[in-house]
Amino acid sequence: MSALQPVRGTHDLLPEDMRRFREVADTARRAALCFGYHEVATPIFEFTEVFKRTLGDTSDVVTKEMYTFTDKGGETVTLRPEGTAGVARALISGGLAQHLPLKYFYVGPMFRYERPQKGRLRQFHQTGVELLGVKEPQGDVEVIAIGVEFLRRIGAWDRCELELNTLGDTPSRQAYRRVLIDYLNDFRDRLSKDSLDRLEKNPLRVLDSKDENDQRIVADAPLYSDYLSAEAQDFFGRVKSGLDDLGIAYRINPRLVRGLDYYCHTCFEITCADLGAQKTVLAGGRYDGLVGMMGGPETAGVGWASGVERCSMLLNETPAAARPIAIVPLGEAAERKAAQLAGELRRQDFLVDLGYSGNMGKRMKRANKIEAIVAVILGDDELAKGEVSLKLLDTGEQKNVRLTDLEAALAAYR
């Protein structure tokens, strides 16, 4: 492949794509802000141990997908494959536990070495929220509600479905783990190699297997919900009641799991069939054991992440580009005045385009090409009178305006 092509699994965000990207990211940011979440940013790369600890040695991300390298100082670092681990590390290294609860929002690039396909890239972007220090089920409800509000605001929620399940508490997990191992042991000769490895170290991850034969086997596995403790059932019931109170529809998916031990209680995904096979647009859950497992204080946590590129595909239309004001000078004296005028208007927050050369015809042609909303025309005659000519490019209407009144005359186009 030519070095002058983008690396496989990456893509350029040119203006139209960037407007879709910005619409999704900014909408998620505004939705989170309405719930009192503050934006944070963690480094794009971390010490590899941050992700190996949090994602597990048997996960596909760690074993197959991480971009890991040794830097010039001999440290092993990894481009972040997801956002939660960095936020949890920041809580520990920043000594933030004394400020709980913490309500965070983030947006940024993530990196995974995957087979590129629709909705799945090697460099992709996620928005996400993390609620740290809240152990009550109201936290789960709030976090889900942010995701729903975000999708509603981009016009996608009515095409989506919220799938919900519970992983229970530690007693529930231990009880189910034993039953699941007993069940899967009967199929050891048919399980994939990856699932055999997971069966020894983390059997719940077998339920996440993408191998078709594994999926047929786990389809008849015992249900997690049959082994929930009374406390876990109560917690899940309160989550469901909270969603009912908010009018948020959901479907219980008893096969929806998170294989890592620090996950507990609520797990959820929001899917959209419009996207085909890669239909998950937002996913999350409760991870009360994560910060403690990383060496920090035991800290409750719940959050979600959403793919910006996938959500961009759900926008009904590409947001329109802002339309500029075109300044069209005629003559050397007008050129100098136009530069001053452009500077003044930009300081007043107007979007201004000032061409670099050309006669009247070429400059007006450019103004139409960039879809300017109005042209400010100034030549020797206008300068002598202290005026400019304003031409509304949608209607062709034209009028003269004194320079001292220009800001007011353009106010509708700011």
Q: Which of 281, 312, 343 is the last residue of a domain?
A: 312
pLDDT, tens digit, 9 for 90 and up, residues 160-217? 999 999 999 989 988 998 999 999 999 998 999 889 888 887 888 888 788 889 989 9
Q: Is the pLDDT of residue 120 over 60?
A: yes
pLDDT value of residue 64:
72
1 within 8 A of 10, measured Cβ to Cβ: no
* Amino acid, single-letter form, for residue 291: V
The β-bridge partners of 38 are 104
Q: What is the pLDDT of residue 56?
A: 66
pLDDT score at 140: 98
Same domain, 241 and 381: no
382 and 258 in a common domain: no
Is the model's pLDDT at 98 over the cut of 80?
yes
Q: Mean of the pLDDT values across residues 379-388?
A: 90
Examine the domain organization and report whether 271 and 369 are in the same domain: no
Supply the CATH number for residue 344's domain: 3.40.50.800
265: exposed, middle or buried (C-beta count within 10 Å: 0-12, 13-18, 19+)? buried
Instruction: Report which of 378, 372, 368, 370 is spatially closest to residue 406, judged by C-alpha positions.
Output: 378
Q: What SS3 class is residue 298?
A: coil
pLDDT tens column, 221-242: 999 889 999 999 999 999 999 9
Distance CA 152, CA 56 (A): 34
Say if 366 falls within a structural domain. yes
Average pLDDT in the 82-102 region? 96
Q: Which of 312, 347, 373 is the last residue of a domain?
A: 312
Residue 62 clears pLDDT 80, i.e. is over it: no
3-state secondary structure at position 372: coil
Regarding whether 352 and 301 lie in a shared domain, the answer is no
Could you tell me if 237 and 384 lie in one domain? no
Report whether pLDDT(1) > 60: no
Kindly state whether residues 298 and 331 are assigned to the same domain.
Answer: no
The whole-angstrom separation of Cα 328 and Cα 375 is 7
- Run of H or E including 391: strand 387-392
SS3 316: coil
Q: Say whether both 283 and 375 belong to one domain.
A: no
Residue 240 lies in a domain: yes
Structural domain contains residue 104: yes
Helix, strand, coil percentages for the chain (3-state, nearest 5): 45, 20, 35
The pLDDT of residue 115 is above 90 = no
**Which residues make Cβ contacts (< 8 Å) with residue 173, sequence separation at least 6?**
167, 204, 261, 264
By C-alpha distance, which of 295, 364, 276 is closest to 328? 364
Q: What is the pLDDT of residues 290-317, one digit of tens each?
A: 999 999 999 999 999 999 999 999 999 9
Average model confidence (pLDDT) for the chain? 92
Segment 307-328 mean pLDDT:
94
4 within a domain of the structure (yes/no): no
Domains of the chain: total: 2
Q: Are residues 285 and 342 in the same domain?
A: no
Give me the CATH number covering residue 87: 3.30.930.10
Determine the average pLDDT of the residues in 394-413.
93
Within a domain: 319: no
pLDDT at 210 (0 to 100): 81
pLDDT band at 54 (very low <50, low <70, confident <90, very high): confident
Share of the chain above pLDDT 90, in %: 75
Cα–Cα distance for residue pair 390/400, rounded to 1 Å: 6
Whole-number pLDDT of residue 2: 62
Tokens for 103, please give them: 């309500």
* Of 286, 297, 301, 289, nearest in space to 94 by CA: 297
Cβ-Cβ contacts under 8 Å for 407 (sequence gap 6 or more): 345, 348
Residue 162 in tokens: 């919220």
Cα 103 to Cα 100: distance, rounded to the nearest angstrom: 9
What's the pLDDT score for residue 119? 58
Quickly list H helices, 253-297.
290-293
Check residue 381 and give its pLDDT.
Answer: 86
The domain of 366 spans 325-413
* pLDDT at position 38 over 80: yes
On whether both 329 and 295 belong to a single domain, the answer is: no
| 8 Å CB contact between 123 and 10 | yes
Among the candidates 264, 285, 312, a domain finishes at 312
Residue 304's contacts (CB-CB under 8 Å, 6 or more residues apart) are 128, 129, 143, 144, 146, 147, 268, 282, 283, 284, 285
pLDDT at 58 over 60: no
Q: Which residue has the higher pLDDT, 357 or 26?
A: 26
Domain assignment present for 206: no
Q: Is residue 180 part of a domain?
A: no
Listed residue (298, 304, 237, 289) closest to 259, CA to CA:
289
Q: Are residues 30 and 78 in the same domain?
A: yes
**pLDDT beyond 70 at 358:** yes
* pLDDT > 70 in the chain, percent: 96
Which has more pLDDT, 260 or 345?
345
Which tokens go with 157? 């929620």
What's the pLDDT at 167? 93
Instruction: Write 353-360 long-range contacts (CB < 8 A, 24+).
Output: 353/324, 353/325, 353/326, 353/327, 354/326, 354/327, 355/326, 355/328, 360/328, 360/330
The pLDDT value recorded for residue 15 is 94
| pTM over the 0.85 mark | yes
Instruction: Give the residue-averaged pLDDT of 51-57.
Output: 76
Report d(CA 179, CA 227) in Å as an integer: 9
| Residues with Cβ within 8 Å of residue 200, at least 6 apart in sequence | none
Q: Per-residue pLDDT for 87 more than 70? A: yes
Residue 301, in any domain of the structure: yes
CA atoms within 13 A on the CB side of 300: 15
| pLDDT reading at 3 higher than 70 | no
Residues 276 and 353 in one domain: no
Sorted by sequence, the CB contacts under 8 Å of residue 44 that are 6+ apart come out as 79, 80, 108, 109, 111
Residues 300 and 365 in one domain: no
